[in-house]
Chains A and B, each alone.
Chain A
């Protein structure tokens, strides 16, 4: 039996030889494309006051410093006020085809990122972003966690975990109540259950103990007193453990529906017309209209081949009072729509084509895109590449495209949340996605 040390030396020689082989020249088109982008990209500059300036005494320097700070504060306030999103009820930009994904514009005016108020609650996969866990190639389903991040200083040093270790089975598909005081999420247990806690982590409670059914995808109603959720029997949605989509079939009956649970009494209302075969088209990711009268959700249809992508999907809206369900015709621009979120003013619904929360994995998927649509199904608008989109209280959209970004409802004023634009690169472990913006 060869000893490990000799094997390691041989392996190291082989690995070095292996890594030597490969391209040594950059493709010219890639270099030229980068230089073309540079033409329209401004450099970042620090504001510096000269240390020594002729004919300036200390008082003049101090005065210049104060004036500069005042200018930055006033300028930042002006930019934020001047850059308030347009009335989301206004006509959006022209509808684009999915093949013409718009480029990401660089803001021409500097933005005072320190004035972005609020906190981001984000969903995270993998080793802890605060670097507290050793590297591992193993995937742990319980390493699906929720973290708070401050927009202006997003990094491994400033991230804070929400409810560390509780529940032990991990957390995903969170929702924050509109008053910013409660968080609901589902666990990764089998069957999965829904939990609710206050934003400060107190008051954690599990809503059910169903042994034969899962409850998924919680969504607070506008009053924060009810939760819409998805009830599943006879199947296990694989995205819960990070696998790429589909469901694992189990014993009959195979049924899934959207329900409403009263948080005070525990009473559940089944929205019967949302019911479907859990084997083929589970309703997912409900989101309430701001007046509490309707709930939008999606269904994704998977084919029989477990290695294939979903074949189709649909956005549907259920009327809470009557229980009637209607579909939104967005499939021509988004064949697999999902992860809908209803705007605070009720005028539009943002959603993702190839929604991550249903897929479970981001590997091997077509590039997701963010779109909006009016609740009557009209004016489907492609905003660009990205996923995990949701509305901010001020009517802008926060979403994920390599890193967290924000934009107006019509896709304008798109920018990274963090000034460096590479905030997620500071998370040296794991992967962060699906941000929820919480106002202070």
Chain B
């Protein structure tokens, strides 16, 4: 990231900011779409994040931190979008049923559709940690610094994201119950 561009953008240079935007927008959108699982919401989050970044750019103390800083804004924009579109459901009890896993475990790992459903059930904050860690490849310490949360919180959210995926996949695999008996 060109430090001079960031410095210029901080001084109200919209052309410099446009260059920066074109450099980071692909990464921002990719992260947003993977967190929100919806292209329309991801576009909204991207737009809102870019505008907010422009507004707050004069307050960015270290121009070298621009990429991390704008990704933080993007993650929070994703949180906002998820709250607008979040459906509320009654509590779902997860019932473990033996015999769902095959001997080597790999066939028990669901196909893409099942993973998609499971991932969507995760709270947005866990999804964000998961994407930043597994898609962007950021270490947890760096994620914690980026989101300005304790390292332990980042660690626990990643842990719970995997636990949530596992539980959700098991719930999906549960056979339908009818009248208290397996249908």
Whether a CB of chain B sits under 8 angstroms from the CB of A109 is: no
Residues of the A chain whose Cβ atoms lie less than 8 Å from the Cβ of B28: 26
Q: Are B87 and A428 in contact (CB under 8 A)?
A: no
Cα of A109 to Cα of B18 in the assembled complex, Å = 25
A 135-172 binary contact with B (CB < 8 Å = 1; else 0): 11111100000000000000000000000000000000
Count residues of chain A with CB under 8 A from any CB of chain B: 62
A305 interfacial by beta-carbon distance below 8 Å? no
Bound CA–CA A364/B89 (angstroms): 12
Decide if B84 touches A402 in the complex (CB within 8 Å): yes
CB-based contact A138/B92 at 8 Å: yes
The residue in chain B whose Cβ has the minimal distance to the Cβ of A27 is B43
CB distance from B175 to the nearest CB of A (A): 18
Q: Is the CB of B34 within 8 A of A31?
A: no
From the candidates A2, A26, A243, A429, name the one contacting B46 in the complex (CB within 8 A): A26
Determine if B183 is an interface residue (Cβ-Cβ < 8 Å): no
A37 touches B51 (CB 8 A): yes
Chain B residue, CB-CB nearest to A23 = B33
Are A30 and B47 neighbours in the complex by a CB distance under 8 Å? Answer: yes
Contact across chains for A2 and B101 when beta carbons are under 8 A apart:
yes
Residues of A within 8 A of B134 (CB): 15-16, 19
Given A46-B58, A135-B126, answer yes or no on A11-B46 (Cβ-Cβ < 8 Å). no
Does chain A have a CB within 8 A of B131?
yes
Q: How many of B's residues come within 8 Å of A, CB to CB?
A: 74
- For chain A, residues 6 to 41, give those with C-beta under 8 angstroms from any C-beta of chain B: 6-8, 10-16, 18-27, 30-31, 33-35, 37-39, 41
Bound: A140/B89 CA distance, A: 10
Tell whether A321 is near chain B: CB-to-CB under 8 Å. Answer: no
> Which residues from A are CB-within-8-Å of B26?
24-26
Given contacts A2-B103, A22-B30, A362-B86, contact A34 B131 (CB under 8 A): no
| CB nearest neighbor in A for B166 | A11
State in angstroms the CA–CA spacing of A12 and B163 once bound together.
10
Within 8 A of B (CB), among A353-384: 360-364
Q: How far apart are the CA atoms of A200 and B86 in the complex, in Å? A: 32
Q: Is A113 engaged at the interface, CB distance under 8 Å to the other chain?
A: no
Q: Are A31 and B25 CB-contacts (below 8 A) given A19-B34, A44-B59, A422-B80?
A: yes
Known: A19-B34, A23-B30, A42-B55. A363 touches B162 (CB 8 A): no
Assembled-state Cα–Cα distance A196/B26 (Å): 52
Task: Decide: B14 and A15 in contact? CB cutoff 8 A.
Answer: no
Is A225 positioned at the interface, with any CB of B under 8 Å from its CB?
no
State whether the Cβ of B182 lies closer than 8 Å to any Cβ in chain A.
no
Q: Which of A19, A44, A244, A362 contacts B84 (CB 8 A)?
A: A362
29 contacts across the A-B interface (CB closer than 8 A) = A2-B105, A6-B105, A7-B101, A7-B166, A8-B166, A10-B105, A11-B109, A11-B165, A15-B134, A20-B135, A22-B33, A23-B30, A26-B25, A26-B28, A31-B25, A34-B47, A34-B50, A35-B17, A38-B51, A44-B55, A135-B123, A137-B121, A139-B91, A243-B90, A362-B88, A364-B87, A421-B52, A425-B77, A429-B125
A-B CB proximity, top 10 nearest: A363-B87, A26-B29, A34-B50, A26-B25, A2-B105, A242-B88, A30-B43, A425-B76, A14-B109, A34-B47
Add 9 more A-B contacts to A8-B166, A35-B21, A138-B91 (CB < 8 A). A19-B34, A25-B29, A26-B28, A30-B29, A34-B21, A37-B51, A46-B58, A243-B89, A431-B83
Interface residues of A (CB under 8 A from B): 1-2, 4, 6-8, 10-16, 18-27, 30-31, 33-35, 37-39, 41-46, 125, 135-140, 241-244, 360-364, 402-403, 421-422, 424-425, 428-429, 431
